[in-house]
Amino acid sequence: MSVSALARALASQPFGKFDTLQWGPWKEPAMLALVRRYFTYRRLRPVVVVLPGHLAKGYGPGRHYTLGQARRAIADLKLSAQATPYALAAACTLQELEKSVTDISAVDYQRMRMELADLFGLASADFTMDMLRSKVFNTHHPAPENMYAGSGGGHP
């Protein structure tokens, strides 16, 4: 739909009827998927960036942590209820979660770990807390195409 056709369609629609506009079949779902992915990334970023360091500081470095340690760190960081299952899946093993969390299945555990791996560019869903602590995105590296990003001063 061209811009002028969209303007005509908007002008001809009374207020409250915008949901009846005919968008191209690829525009709306792609845009919503992009927005949804962005907000999911923002919501889950503390799970991958902040949680591993907090757990290591409180309980020492480790590949995985107990359910109690993970819950304490989640409470300390005040992670959202939506991020909590992902944080538990990232910090604990499936066996640890099956001991105390009755509503988690192996399929859900693997799905959440795969989502984290996909969203944050991890090599596989078999990541550990040690891997997350040493991940490259935990440190700042200026973009190579921006020659002024790391100069620390003005223009040359």
More confident residue, 117 or 10: 117
Token look-up 């490259």 returns 136
Average the pLDDT over 80-99 and give the result: 93
> What are the tens digits of pLDDT across the range 94-132?
999 988 876 788 999 999 999 999 998 888 889 989 888
Report the amino acid identity of residue 58: G
Q: How many whole angstroms separate alpha carbon 148 and alpha carbon 130? A: 33
> What are the tens digits of pLDDT across the range 39-71?
999 999 999 999 999 999 999 999 999 999 999
**Buried/exposed code over 37-49 (b: 16+ C-beta within 10 A; e: otherwise):** eeebeeebebbbe
Q: What is the dihedral of CA 93, 99, 105, 107, to 10 degrees?
A: 20
Report the amino acid identity of residue 4: S
More confident residue, 21 or 87: 87
| Contacts for 102 with CB less than 8 Å, ≥ 6 apart | none
Cα distances (Å, whole numbers) of residue 92 to 10, 23, 78? 51, 44, 18
pTM comes to 0.68
Q: Which of 86, 7, 17 is nearest to 52 (CA)?
A: 86
